[in-house]
Amino acid sequence: MSDTSAAEAPLAGLTVVEISAFIAAPLAGMTLAQLGAEVIRIDPLGGNIDANRWPISDDGTSIYWASLNKGKRSVTLDLRGDEGRCVAVSLIAKAGTVVTNLPARGWLSYERLVADRPDLVMLRLTGSHDGSPEIDYTVNAASGFPIVTGQDERPVNNVVPAWDVIAGLYVANGILSAELVRRASGQGQEITVALSDTMLATVGNLGYIAEVQATGSTRGPLGNGLYGAYGQSFVTSDGRELMVAVISNRHWRSLGEVTGLADKLAMIGPMLDVDLTTEGGRFAARDAIDAVLRPWFAAHTADEAATALSSAGVLNGRFQTFEELVHSDPLCSLENPLFDEIDQPGVGKVLAPRNPLRFGSSPVLPAEPAPQIGEDTTDVLASTLGMSSEDISALGATGVIDS
């Protein structure tokens, strides 16, 4: 990508300081970096609590950290002492925008930082709105979703840290919204968002809260079934499993035609007194529909079934491992313009996604490796704060930065 293209990226010219750990805030910073912002991550000397988090490469490099910090610049400072904190405050003041999910008090409080930058935009991610600590898995336990995941009412945690991901995107949206306000009015502001509130907002936006209030209850566990419509997973003759989803009458007709079971499926409606032309009717008859369809899938390989269903316009997806996704799925390859191949220090050559947004008049920036922790300290202090080599050496001599 040329310098001209980088200058035309949607967030070119925006500088963000990120002081964070784990998933949500780093994901927000990386999202902004992928859109063209300069994102400077500040960590304590040696890295923050997430610096060595699993998975790790053979030489001990955190693949986790590298994956969430692509395209950023890394600065490490002695944040326990006043001099290191003073440098961090100066970097924040110069950038004008800061994101953190760490306790924002003392030197990192909005009141302290805004004194040096009156139009500061600061976004703080907290655990709960009352300031109590939460992480994705504790928030998820309260969400209700683990109780309806699986085959029965024993709770099943989602291995995807969904609330961290959702919160990270809220954080990025919050920064962009505040930046629009600042550009229009010249005013900065402090924004807060709680991880538990992102969970509650999502539960409410998907109708689960209103469902309980309106009906007195909510859906139970369905395994791989699709609530309120027809969907199910089926085992094929080669032991693979396919997910099939029917969300329109066209899909329903096509499913009957491609399997040759239209007549048998049609018999289910009168037998159970349900209308199979409606999603609710198909949901009510799901067990009978499953029973009619399972022998067809058991008589076909996964490739045969998927090809036939796709040709007929029936929505289907093959369950696959991460290894199969990486090694066999063309969507997860350089055939997909989402991906670049990067050489990540300590990890090796890996596929790295760009930002999935596609702008009609702005370039999509290439994926960039994550920095090694602290590798940009000297350069950032010189280029951003204008420090001389003598001043930077003095910081090294006193242990404020790694010498």
Catalytic sites, residue numbers: 164
- Hey, how many other C-beta atoms are within 10 angstroms of the C-beta on 364? 19
Spatial separation of the C-alpha atoms in residues 125 and 88, rounded to whole Å: 19
Spatial separation of the C-alpha atoms in residues 401 and 41, rounded to whole Å: 14
Which pair of tokens denotes residue 70? 């692509």
Strand 38-44 relative to strand 73-77: parallel, antiparallel, unpaired? parallel
Task: Give exposure, 68-83, as e/b (b: 16+ Cβ within 10 Å).
Answer: bbbbbbbbbbbbeeee
Closest CA to 222 of 319, 156, 278: 156
Which pair of tokens denotes residue 38? 């300069």
Query: 55 and 64 in contact (C-beta within 8 Å)?
Result: yes
Residue 123 burial (10 A CB sphere; 0-12, 13-18, 19+): buried
Which pair of tokens denotes residue 265? 């499926």
